[in-house]
Amino acid sequence: MRSLLRQLFYFIFLTASLLLSHGLCANESPAYLVNALKIKTLAIAYERYEVQGNFNSIVIPIKRAGKLILIDAYADSVSGSLILDTGSAGIVLNQIYFRNERKSSGQQSGGITGKLRNTKKTKIKKLSFDEIVFENIMVDLVDLGHLEKVREVKILGFFGLCLFRDFELVLDLKNNVLELHRLNDEGWRLSQQPVPVPDLELEVYNYSDVFFVEGRIANRRLIFCLDTGAESNVLDSYLSDKILKTVKILSRSSLRGVGKQEKEVFYGLMNEFILNDKAYPPMQTIITNLSQMSDSYGMEIHGMLGCNFFEQGVYYLNMKTDVLGVVFHEQIKP
């Protein structure tokens, strides 16, 4: 297993366009499959981001573009939307808006279609959203123009959970809010606000600020990445037939990455997904090869839990204790 303490991986998951051989949903664009552009950045573990701001708890409004989770933000003098992407540990900004910044060479990145490219790094004097401010931070720069075109919104960039190592995150997509609660060393809220009793609670695996859970399909234990940047759940096409047969296939599509190479993907409904003995309802899912994603993370993963998963309830992630709690919406409570 590769050491994430010493290496920085850049991984382009989906870029440019998705060429559909069949329609998906009547009310969704082709890019609904996952992201039109998905870059996985596993940041060096010792990178430290200090949150500036005199608050113990804060509620941040979020917006949606498709199923992307967006927060209004500023990077230096540039305004736009940042994507909340728990599947990435680092910070990536759209190089379209930072062409005049002083840049240094980045690492080589590998896409799901196998294409490699180089990325750039630069220092941002100030990154802010709501009352939260980060100063003098290094970021990666990548062209996110394809994603802007598909979603028709100004995308400033995206960020992962490395920014909030001292916080509990509460994600409520039903009410479109993200809560941040500052924690003490033992993982308790400094604000002393009460935490609702969860319907489901389990330990999660924190691997360089990216979180993984163990779920089951067809009574088989599988490792999933918690990924708010994925517009759909994803299952690895190399899983056993017993597992893949639980997915109701709705369509087949062609995926085009940063180059001319194409990959075939399947779209359907994931059934029989169980998390800590809680059975989830059918969720929209993509089936494709995740071997390069596993290489990027430095560990084998069998799937990704995206926005369809996070729409099932209110999720509480404690970054100090590595515990995930879920309060399900009434219609799917046990």
3-state secondary structure 292-329: HHHHHHCCCCCEEECHHHHCCEEEEEECCCCEEEEEEC
- Alpha-carbon gap, residue 328 to 232, rounded angstroms: 19
The β-bridge partners of 73 are 80
Nearest residue to 226 via CA among 82, 153, 325, 81: 325
Percent of the chain with pLDDT over 70: 75
Residue reference for tokens 């990145």: 109
pLDDT tens digits along 100-153: 655 555 554 444 444 445 567 888 999 998 888 888 888 888 888 888 888 889
- Alpha-carbon gap, residue 180 to 167, rounded angstroms: 6
pLDDT tens digits along 114-125: 444 556 788 899
- Alpha-carbon gap, residue 44 to 208, rounded angstroms: 8
**Calculated CA dihedral for residues 94, 298, 203, 331, nearest 10 degrees:** 50
Q: What does the pLDDT read at residue 179?
A: 96
Strand pairing class (220-226; 303-305): parallel
Q: Among 20-29, 247-256, 301-310, which stretch is predicted with the lowest mean pLDDT?
A: 20-29
Structural domains in the chain, sorted by start: 9-182 (2.40.70.10), 200-332 (2.40.70.10)
Q: What does the pLDDT read at residue 26?
A: 33
Record the pTM: 0.83
Residue reference for tokens 């060096």: 44
Residue 296 reports pLDDT greater than 90: no
- Alpha-carbon gap, residue 91 to 314, rounded angstroms: 25
Q: Do 199 and 327 touch, CB atoms closer than 8 A? A: yes
Percent of the chain with pLDDT over 90: 49
Q: Residues, the chain, total? A: 334
Residues 6+ apart with CB under 8 A from 291: 236, 238
- Alpha-carbon gap, residue 210 to 121, rounded angstroms: 21
Residue 84 reports pLDDT greater than 90: yes
Q: What value does the mean pLDDT take over residues 241-267? A: 77
